[in-house]
Amino acid sequence: MKIATWNINSIRIRIDQVIRFLLKEKIDILCLQETKVTDNLFPFKTFKDNGYNFIKVNGQKQYNGVAIISRLPITRSYKKDFCEKKEKRYISITLENNIEIHNFYFPAGGIEPDIKKNPKFEEKLNFYSKVTDWFTKRNSKKKQILVGDMNIAPSENDVWSHEKLINIVSHTPIEIKYFDKLIKSFDWVDAVRYFNGDKKKIFSWWSYRVIEWKLENKGRRLDHIWVEKSLSKKIQNIQVLKKFRNYSQPSDHVPLILDLDI
The confidence score (pLDDT) of residue 251 equals: 98
Q: What is the pLDDT of residues 8-39, one digit of tens each?
A: 999 999 999 999 999 999 999 999 999 999 99
What percent of the chain stands above pLDDT 90?
Answer: 96
What burial class does residue 190 get, using C-beta atoms within 10 Å of its C-beta: 0-12 exposed, 13-18 middle, 19+ buried? buried
Mean pLDDT across the stretch 214-227? 97
Angle of CA points 174, 175, 179, to nearest 5°: 120
Question: In the prediction, which pLDDT does 219 show?
Answer: 98
Cα(25)–Cα(45) distance, rounded to whole angstroms? 20
Q: Lowest-pLDDT range, 53-57, 81-85, 101-105, 130-134?
A: 81-85
Q: Report the CATH number at residue 204.
A: 3.60.10.10
Band the pLDDT of 139: cuts 50, 70, 90: confident
Rounded mean pLDDT, 98-103 = 97
Beta bridge partners of 110: none
pLDDT at 84: 87
Q: Which distant-in-sequence residues (6+ apart) come within 8 Å of 18 by Cβ?
A: 6, 8, 11, 30, 32
Q: Mean of the pLDDT values across residues 179-186?
A: 96
Interval 142-164 mean pLDDT: 97
User: What is the arithmetic mean of pLDDT over 152-177?
Assistant: 98
Query: Mean pLDDT, to the nearest integer, of 117-123?
Result: 97
**What is the domain range of residue 116?**
2-260
- Of the pLDDT bands very low, low, confident and very high (cuts 50, 70, 90), residue 141 is confident
Instruction: List, in order, residues 6 or more apart from 81 with CB less than 8 Å away.
Output: 87, 89, 90
d(CA 65, CA 39): 9
Instruction: Report pTM.
Output: 0.97
Mean per-residue pLDDT over the chain, rounded: 97
202 Rama class: left (phi>0) / alpha (psi -120 to 50) / beta: beta
What is the band of 180 on the pLDDT scale with cuts at 50, 70, 90?
A: very high
Q: What is the pLDDT, as a whole number, of residue 125?
A: 98
Sort strands 2-7 and 29-33 into parallel, antiparallel or unpaired: parallel
Contact 148, 35 (CB under 8 A): no
54 confidence band (pLDDT: 50, 70, 90) = very high
Give how many domains the chain has, as a whole number. Answer: 1
